[in-house]
Structure 1
Protein backbone atom coordinates (compact mmCIF):
# COMPACT_ATOMS: atom_id res chain seq x y z
CA UNK A 1 0.00 0.00 0.00
CA UNK A 2 1.36 3.39 -0.99
CA UNK A 3 0.90 6.36 1.34
CA UNK A 4 2.37 9.82 1.62
CA UNK A 5 3.61 10.45 5.18
CA UNK A 6 4.79 13.93 6.06
CA UNK A 7 5.27 14.70 2.37
CA UNK A 8 7.36 11.60 1.62
CA UNK A 9 6.27 8.45 -0.26
CA UNK A 10 5.91 5.44 2.04
CA UNK A 11 5.29 1.85 0.99
CA UNK A 12 3.59 -0.28 3.66
CA UNK A 13 4.86 -3.85 3.52
CA UNK A 14 2.03 -4.93 5.79
CA UNK A 15 -1.39 -3.36 5.23
CA UNK A 16 -2.06 -1.46 8.47
CA UNK A 17 -5.86 -1.41 8.09
CA UNK A 18 -6.41 1.61 10.31
CA UNK A 19 -4.75 4.87 11.18
CA UNK A 20 -4.13 3.52 14.69
CA UNK A 21 -2.27 0.48 13.33
CA UNK A 22 -0.17 2.69 11.04
CA UNK A 23 0.80 5.01 13.91
CA UNK A 24 1.76 1.97 15.98
CA UNK A 25 3.71 0.54 13.04
CA UNK A 26 5.62 3.83 12.64
CA UNK A 27 6.38 4.03 16.38
CA UNK A 28 4.23 7.06 17.19
CA UNK A 29 2.01 5.03 19.55
CA UNK A 30 2.56 2.06 21.81
CA UNK A 31 0.64 -1.16 21.16
CA UNK A 32 -1.74 -0.18 23.98
CA UNK A 33 -4.60 1.48 22.09
CA UNK A 34 -5.61 3.42 25.21
CA UNK A 35 -2.19 5.08 25.58
CA UNK A 36 -2.62 7.89 23.07
CA UNK A 37 0.09 10.48 23.11
CA UNK A 38 -1.05 14.06 22.90
CA UNK A 39 2.34 15.27 21.63
CA UNK A 40 1.17 15.26 18.03
CA UNK A 41 -1.83 15.86 15.80
CA UNK A 42 -2.65 13.71 12.80
CA UNK A 43 -4.17 14.97 9.57
CA UNK A 44 -5.50 12.57 6.96
CA UNK A 45 -5.88 14.18 3.54
CA UNK A 46 -5.71 17.61 5.21
CA UNK A 47 -8.43 16.81 7.80
CA UNK A 48 -7.50 16.59 11.49
CA UNK A 49 -8.43 13.20 12.97
CA UNK A 50 -9.15 13.06 16.70
CA UNK A 51 -7.31 10.35 18.63
CA UNK A 52 -10.64 8.73 19.51
CA UNK A 53 -11.12 7.98 15.78
CA UNK A 54 -7.68 6.50 15.01
CA UNK A 55 -8.89 2.89 15.34
CA UNK A 56 -12.00 3.41 13.18
CA UNK A 57 -10.26 5.43 10.44
CA UNK A 58 -9.54 3.18 7.48
CA UNK A 59 -6.69 3.98 5.12
CA UNK A 60 -6.84 4.00 1.33
CA UNK A 61 -4.14 3.79 -1.31
CA UNK A 62 -2.34 7.14 -1.80
CA UNK A 63 -3.76 8.73 1.39
CA UNK A 64 -1.73 11.66 2.68
CA UNK A 65 -0.96 11.49 6.41
CA UNK A 66 0.70 14.36 8.24
CA UNK A 67 1.91 13.86 11.81
CA UNK A 68 2.41 17.29 13.32
CA UNK A 69 4.23 17.96 16.59
CA UNK A 70 2.44 20.14 19.08
CA UNK A 71 4.54 22.99 20.44
CA UNK A 72 3.46 24.87 23.54
CA UNK A 73 4.94 27.73 25.43
CA UNK A 74 4.64 31.38 26.01
Structure 2
Protein backbone atom coordinates (compact mmCIF):
# COMPACT_ATOMS: atom_id res chain seq x y z
CA UNK A 1 0.00 0.00 0.00
CA UNK A 2 1.33 3.42 -0.96
CA UNK A 3 1.65 6.06 1.76
CA UNK A 4 -1.02 8.77 1.83
CA UNK A 5 1.50 11.58 2.34
CA UNK A 6 4.79 12.15 0.53
CA UNK A 7 7.95 14.01 1.47
CA UNK A 8 8.91 16.85 -0.85
CA UNK A 9 11.86 14.73 -1.96
CA UNK A 10 9.45 11.93 -2.90
CA UNK A 11 7.38 14.38 -4.94
CA UNK A 12 10.54 15.66 -6.63
CA UNK A 13 11.53 12.12 -7.58
CA UNK A 14 8.02 11.39 -8.87
CA UNK A 15 8.02 14.52 -11.06
CA UNK A 16 11.71 14.22 -11.97
CA UNK A 17 12.48 17.75 -10.74
CA UNK A 18 14.64 19.13 -7.93
CA UNK A 19 13.61 19.34 -4.29
CA UNK A 20 13.89 23.14 -4.49
CA UNK A 21 11.48 23.25 -7.44
CA UNK A 22 8.90 21.29 -5.43
CA UNK A 23 9.47 23.55 -2.41
CA UNK A 24 8.78 26.59 -4.60
CA UNK A 25 5.62 24.95 -6.01
CA UNK A 26 4.40 24.30 -2.46
CA UNK A 27 5.31 27.75 -1.09
CA UNK A 28 3.66 29.49 -4.05
CA UNK A 29 0.46 27.49 -3.56
CA UNK A 30 0.74 25.82 -6.96
CA UNK A 31 0.93 22.39 -5.30
CA UNK A 32 -1.25 21.96 -2.18
CA UNK A 33 0.64 20.69 0.87
CA UNK A 34 0.49 20.72 4.65
CA UNK A 35 3.03 21.49 7.36
CA UNK A 36 3.14 19.01 10.21
CA UNK A 37 5.10 18.45 13.37
CA UNK A 38 7.02 20.81 15.59
CA UNK A 39 9.61 21.48 12.90
CA UNK A 40 6.96 22.26 10.27
CA UNK A 41 7.87 19.57 7.78
CA UNK A 42 6.01 19.71 4.48
CA UNK A 43 3.92 16.79 3.24
CA UNK A 44 1.98 16.43 -0.02
CA UNK A 45 -1.01 14.15 -0.09
CA UNK A 46 -0.72 11.64 -2.93
CA UNK A 47 -4.25 12.51 -4.11
CA UNK A 48 -3.29 16.20 -4.36
CA UNK A 49 -0.20 15.30 -6.36
CA UNK A 50 -2.32 13.26 -8.79
CA UNK A 51 -4.77 16.20 -9.11
CA UNK A 52 -1.83 18.52 -9.78
CA UNK A 53 -0.54 16.21 -12.52
CA UNK A 54 -3.98 16.02 -14.15
CA UNK A 55 -4.30 19.82 -13.97
CA UNK A 56 -0.90 20.18 -15.67
CA UNK A 57 -1.98 17.77 -18.43
CA UNK A 58 -5.10 19.90 -19.02
CA UNK A 59 -3.07 23.14 -19.03
CA UNK A 60 -0.57 21.64 -21.46
CA UNK A 61 -3.32 20.38 -23.76
CA UNK A 62 -4.87 23.87 -23.80
CA UNK A 63 -1.46 25.41 -24.55
CA UNK A 64 -0.93 22.98 -27.44
CA UNK A 65 -4.37 23.85 -28.87
CA UNK A 66 -3.58 27.56 -28.58
CA UNK A 67 -0.12 27.23 -30.12
CA UNK A 68 -0.39 25.03 -33.19
CA UNK A 69 2.75 23.76 -34.90
CA UNK A 70 4.03 25.81 -37.78
CA UNK A 71 6.29 24.69 -40.62
CA UNK A 72 9.42 25.76 -38.75
CA UNK A 73 8.51 23.52 -35.78
CA UNK A 74 7.89 20.46 -37.95
CA UNK A 75 11.20 20.84 -39.84
CA UNK A 76 13.29 20.03 -36.74
More helix per residue: 2
Could you say whether these structures have the same fold, taking a TM-score greater than 0.5 normalized by the shorter chain as the test? no
With normalisation by structure 2, the TM-score equals 0.31
More strand per residue: 1
For the pair shown, the structure with the greater C-alpha radius of gyration is 2
